[in-house]
Amino acid sequence: MRVFVVNPGSTSTKLALVEVEEGSPRVRARREEPADLAKEPAADLKARLPAVLKAARAFAPFDAVAARGGLLGPLSAGVYRVDEGMADTLLRAPFGYHPANLGAPLALEVARQFGLEAYVVDPPTINELLPEARISGVPGIERQSRVHALNLRYVARRVAGKLGKKLGDAVLIGAHMGGGTSLALFLRGRMADTTDALLGEGPFSANRAGTTPIHGVLKLVRERGLDAARHLLARRSGFLGLLGTDNLKVVEDRLADPEVRLVVEAYALQIAKNMAAMAAHARPDAFFLTGGAARFGYPVRRIEERLSWIAPVYHLPGEFEAEALAEGVYRVRAGLEEAKRYAA
């Protein structure tokens, strides 16, 4: 089976043709198209569509189209068929706008051109939190689940397989280390606890603040105003704010500098602390680290040192979003899983 994959980001649209045989996805071809960003989602869709259709014609034939899901509101994990209602919700963006919101609308247009079906798999707003994990301690503020669910669930399945188990039989705690950092607890298949990578909580990352003392946030808003404070926390914090760069290769090259090493130690400590805290739910069979920043050797080693006394730590660096999307479609087409219908 061949799946055409659409993965929109803030600066480009990543496209791939993935072949799946017996549940083992293999990327056959990749293309990355620079994004012509617009202020309105519908205009952004129009700007990106010609390049996506051109790539689809070059990659054809394929059997289905899959896209990275956007901000669709709280959902259960799984594979969802893309329809007009889903595409319209993503373009109106009632749950917030992110470039990933363009994935399903783009996939739907490609599917129409080729007479195929389009799917999204494990959108980032999967919310399967346990009831006690939703409570924040502040009336009217509930903990949110907005994580790199697609990559985390795919890698969790792989780690469960390494343990000789199915995901539904394992307890795993994973961290996606990328431009944003997000964590998830997989409690026998359920993503029972997570952080919130979209300016919610968790470790800091390349340019995001992560969990921040409340009094400091209140002071920041009072002094700079809401919009400027939000921009600082979401775009100018983390490694960029502390060290002047969000390029972790540059940070790695500067590790001999005591100030740089201290910040990297703090990064590793925050990830390890958050992962260890999730072990309060149940002793994990394993931890795992994934994402592009998991190629940064020093913090990975420090995280492993802090967690290995609890459970083994698996290291699967990189992002497997194209493979995860294609594998999800394969599960539906092979009758191993039933596609869900999105209801706004």
- Please tell me whether residues 39 and 88 are part of one structural domain: yes
Question: Hunting for tokens 């939703």 — which residue is that?
Answer: 134
Categorize the per-residue pLDDT at 35 as very low, low, confident or very high, splitting at 50, 70 and 90.
confident
- Please tell me whether residues 184 and 105 are part of one structural domain: no
Inter-CA distances, 331 with 3, 61, 86, 338, Å: 12, 20, 21, 8
Q: Cα–Cα distance between 344 and 202 in angstroms, integer?
A: 28
- Please tell me whether residues 27 and 8 are part of one structural domain: yes
What token pair was written down for 199? Answer: 């300016």
The DSSP string of 213-240 is: -HHHHHHHHHHH-HHHHHHHHHHS-HHH
15 within a domain of the structure (yes/no): yes
Encoded amino acid at 100, one letter: A
Q: Cα–Cα distance between 104 and 118 in angstroms, integer?
A: 8
- Please tell me whether residues 273 and 302 are part of one structural domain: yes
Per residue in 46-78, pLDDT (tens digit) is 999 999 999 999 999 999 999 999 999 999 999
Q: Provide the pairing of β-strand 79-81 with 340-341.
A: parallel
273 within a domain of the structure (yes/no): yes
For residues 68 and 325, the answer to whether their CB atoms sit within 8 Å is yes
For residues 143 and 134, the answer to whether their CB atoms sit within 8 Å is yes
298 within a domain of the structure (yes/no): yes
pLDDT score, position 275? 98
Question: Hunting for tokens 């055409």 — which residue is that?
Answer: 4
Task: Please choose, from the candidates 175, 128, 121, the residue with its C-alpha nearest in 3D space to the C-alpha of residue 150.
Answer: 121
- Please tell me whether residues 259 and 135 are part of one structural domain: yes
76 within a domain of the structure (yes/no): yes
pLDDT score, position 211? 95
Parent domain of 213: 131-311
- Please tell me whether residues 76 and 179 are part of one structural domain: no
Q: With H, G, I as helix, E, B as strand and everything else as coil, classify residue 270.
A: helix
316 within a domain of the structure (yes/no): no
- Please tell me whether residues 292 and 143 are part of one structural domain: yes
What token pair was written down for 40? Answer: 């309105």
- Please tell me whether residues 154 and 176 are part of one structural domain: yes
Q: Cα–Cα distance between 156 and 170 in angstroms, integer?
A: 9
Give buried/exposed letters for 161-175 (b at 16+ CB in 10 A, else e). eeeebebeebbbbbb
Q: With H, G, I as helix, E, B as strand and everything else as coil, classify residue 48.
A: helix
317 within a domain of the structure (yes/no): no
Q: Cα–Cα distance between 190 and 172 in angstroms, integer?
A: 10
For residues 337 and 78, the answer to whether their CB atoms sit within 8 Å is yes
Per residue in 188-245, pLDDT (tens digit) is 999 999 999 888 899 999 999 999 999 999 999 999 999 999 999 999 999 999 999 9
For residues 14 and 30, the answer to whether their CB atoms sit within 8 Å is yes
- Please tell me whether residues 97 and 189 are part of one structural domain: no
pLDDT score, position 273? 97
pLDDT score, position 23? 77
H/E element, 307: helix 297-307
What token pair was written down for 286? Answer: 């394993």
Q: With H, G, I as helix, E, B as strand and everything else as coil, classify residue 28.
A: strand
Domain count, the chain: 2
- Please tell me whether residues 151 and 221 are part of one structural domain: yes
Per residue in 2-32, pLDDT (tens digit) is 999 999 987 789 999 999 998 789 999 999 9
- Please tell me whether residues 297 and 193 are part of one structural domain: yes
pLDDT at 39 over 90: no
Q: Cα–Cα distance between 195 and 180 in angstroms, integer?
A: 11
The partner residues of 288 in beta bridges, in order of sequence, read: 174, 314
CA-angle at 297, arms to 292 and 301, nearest 5°: 120
pTM value is: 0.92
pLDDT score, position 322? 95
Helix 297-307 vs helix 258-278: crossing angle, to nearest 10: 40
91 within a domain of the structure (yes/no): yes
Looking up residue 333, the CATH number of its domain turns out to be: 3.30.420.40
Query: What is the side-by-side strand order in the sheet with 64-68?
Result: 24-34, 12-21, 2-8, 64-68, 118-121, 79-81, 340-341
266 within a domain of the structure (yes/no): yes
Encoded amino acid at 195, one letter: T
For residues 151 and 324, the answer to whether their CB atoms sit within 8 Å is yes
- Please tell me whether residues 115 and 207 are part of one structural domain: no
